[in-house]
Amino acid sequence: MTNDHDGVRGLLAAWAVGALPPGDARTVPPHLAGCESCATEAERLRDTVRLLDGGPSDGRPPTSALNGSGSADGALAMALRSRGPRTPGVAPHAAPYAAAVAGLQALVRELDGRWGTPVVHDWDAQATVAHLIAADEHLAVALGVAPRLPASHIPEGTPAGDAWDRRTADVIAHEHTRTPEETVATWAAQAAALLATPEAWDPEPAARAVTVMGLRLPVTDHFVIRAFEAWIHTDDIGRALGLPVPPPPDKHLDHLVRLAVRILGLALHDAPPVLFEVTGPTDTSWVLGSGDDPVTAELTLDAVDFCLLVGGRYAPAEVPRAETGDTGAVRNVLETAAALAWL
């Protein structure tokens, strides 16, 4: 049970998603009644959760992420239809992440009794959500959000990729000692706290660069990466359950594609140049590779297929595509794109 100011402040995101332990559920409201700063922060967090959950803005507490009924198709369709209106106050760079969180919240309602379903890698559904806790945590901590789970003992100097894998393994092991409902509540509370940071609402502080998972990028880009991963793993869970998960809305998909192309372009800076076109909402082409040489090939991918390739869900030889010219240069683009996957 926590009733001191700092302790209550650390519980506000859990309060906003209705995930407080019983003892704290009794002590937090009285503290909010007498503390203006905590009450203001709590209301901001609750407004963020309402935007994600599509709930009424009438002052009623939000429902748990696992409450609800109806078919998965209906839940997902409702979530996706509301993605734009749910995030009017979130800055454009954070809107794709907010929408991806809303989509996963809709899907987890259909997991009752199926949390042990194998999903991806060696993870079941609960472990997949636990992985997202670990993945989002890196950006959350960089933006001043306190970690919600015990720290991992990772030696200083451990390569970023190895530290990433170790933290994921530790979080999954921890979450498998808890109920799926507790895992989802922790993930939802952290997502709400991340979306309540100033960087999610104001592009100015989000323009600063931070290092997350060994990548030093503007916070705006890190939010897009978080959206990318949340959508990929929502799709993983949907496929495991036999439930189709629609792609991100066009405007959000455009954010994902453009960031992936930028990173891919850096990786191919001295490669044989290829004219690369992504069809769909982006419907744009770029020359990837050396700017000193003539284009040797052309490659066209659908936007969703490109994202699935970068997300490691397509093998380079299997992704649907159109290509002409130097097959080796095309293969290099596809293999480099697939090598970017860390999900």
CATH of the domain at 97: 1.20.120.450
CA 43 to CA 10: how far, in whole Å?
A: 14
In one-letter notation, the amino acid at residue 62 is P
What's the pLDDT score for residue 114? 94
pLDDT, mean over the chain: 83
What confidence tier does 302 reach under pLDDT thresholds 50, 70, 90? very high
Question: Do residues 205 and 332 both lie within one domain?
Answer: no
Q: Which domain holds residue 280?
A: 258-339
Of the candidates 246, 277, 300, which is a domain's last residue? 246
Residue 113 in domain: yes
Using CA atoms, how far residue 132 sits from 125, 157, 269, in Å, is: 11, 24, 31
What's the pLDDT score for residue 18? 62
DSSP string, 128-148: HHHHHHHHHHHHHHHTTPPPS
Residue 206 in domain: yes
pLDDT tens by residue, 221-265: 999 999 999 999 999 999 999 988 899 999 999 999 999 999 999
DSSP string, 117-133: -EEETTEEHHHHHHHHH
Question: Do residues 203 and 107 both lie within one domain?
Answer: yes
Indicate if the pLDDT at residue 64 is higher than 50.
Answer: no
Residue 40 in domain: no
**What's the domain count of the chain?**
2
Residue 5 in domain: no
Question: Do residues 148 and 239 both lie within one domain?
Answer: yes
**Count of CB atoms within 10 A of residue 277's CB?**
16
Across the range 206-219, mean pLDDT stands at 92
Tokens representing 144?
Answer: 């001043």
CA 193 to CA 187: how far, in whole Å?
A: 10
Highest average pLDDT, of 9-13, 15-19, 289-293, comes from: 289-293
Question: Do residues 72 and 187 both lie within one domain?
Answer: yes
Question: Do residues 178 and 265 both lie within one domain?
Answer: no
* Surface-to-core class of residue 7, CB atoms within 10 Å of its CB (0-12 exposed, 13-18 middle, 19+ buried): middle
Residue 24 in domain: no
Question: Do residues 141 and 203 both lie within one domain?
Answer: yes
Residue 55 in domain: no
Indicate if the pLDDT at residue 135 is higher than 80.
Answer: yes
Of the candidates 181, 212, 246, which is a domain's last residue? 246
Residues contacting 67, CB < 8 A, separation 6+ = 109
Question: Do residues 157 and 284 both lie within one domain?
Answer: no
pLDDT over 90 for what percent of the chain? 59
Instruction: Report the DSSP pairing between strands 209-212 and 274-279.
Output: unpaired
CA 16 to CA 35: how far, in whole Å?
A: 16
Query: Under a CB-based contact definition with an 8 Å cutoff, are residues 224 and 260 in contact?
Result: no
Residues contacting 103, CB < 8 A, separation 6+ = 76, 79, 80, 83, 230, 231, 234, 245
Question: Do residues 211 and 272 both lie within one domain?
Answer: no
State the alpha helices, DSSP H only, in the chain. 5-9, 12-16, 22-34, 36-53, 72-81, 83-86, 95-108, 125-142, 160-175, 180-195, 198-201, 203-206, 219-241, 250-267, 303-310, 327-339
Question: Do residues 267 and 242 both lie within one domain?
Answer: no
pLDDT tens by residue, 168-193: 999 999 999 999 999 999 999 999 99
Question: Do residues 187 and 93 both lie within one domain?
Answer: yes
What's the pLDDT score for residue 76? 53
Question: Do residues 78 and 197 both lie within one domain?
Answer: yes
Across the range 66-70, mean pLDDT stands at 35
Residue 154 in domain: yes
Instruction: Report the DSSP pairing between strands 284-288 and 274-279.
Output: antiparallel
pLDDT tens by residue, 75-115: 454 444 444 434 446 899 999 999 999 999 989 988 989 99
